[in-house]
Amino acid sequence: MQVNILEAKNQLSKLVQKALDGEDVVIARNGEPQVRLVRLGPPVRRKGGSWAHLMTEAEVEAAYLPEVDAEIARPYLDSAAKPVDPPRRNRSRRTGKSRPSR
């Protein structure tokens, strides 16, 4: 079944039901087919543990040692780190008042 866009707008729920019933529904513009309504299949079920082969149990345990956590946190906790300057505000050259950003 082929319908034009205006008809599809007016009868969308009927066309969706026809697609669910297995009928081929094509929406056309100026008589040229543009899209097809199709029924979606059941959702894909994922299997757990699909990444289990990437690391051994010993590697996983080693990644969560306190020494590793401390090494990762060291650059963020360094007391010599420079403080971050606040962002500058847009100011008008003429008045010196702030103006809204675009």
Domain coordinates in residue numbering, the chain: 2-37
> Residue 92: how many CA atoms within 13 Å on its side-chain side?
7
The more confidently predicted of residues 6 and 79 is 6
54-84 residue pLDDT tens? 888 899 888 889 999 889 888 888 765 566 6
Kindly state the average pLDDT of the residues 15-34: 94
Whether 90 and 101 have beta carbons less than 8 Å apart is answered as yes
Instruction: Give the sign of the dihedral formed by CA 32, CA 35, CA 37, CA 39.
Output: positive
pLDDT band, very low/low/confident/very high, at 47 (cuts 50, 70, 90): confident
29-38, 49-58, 75-84: which range is least confident on average?
75-84
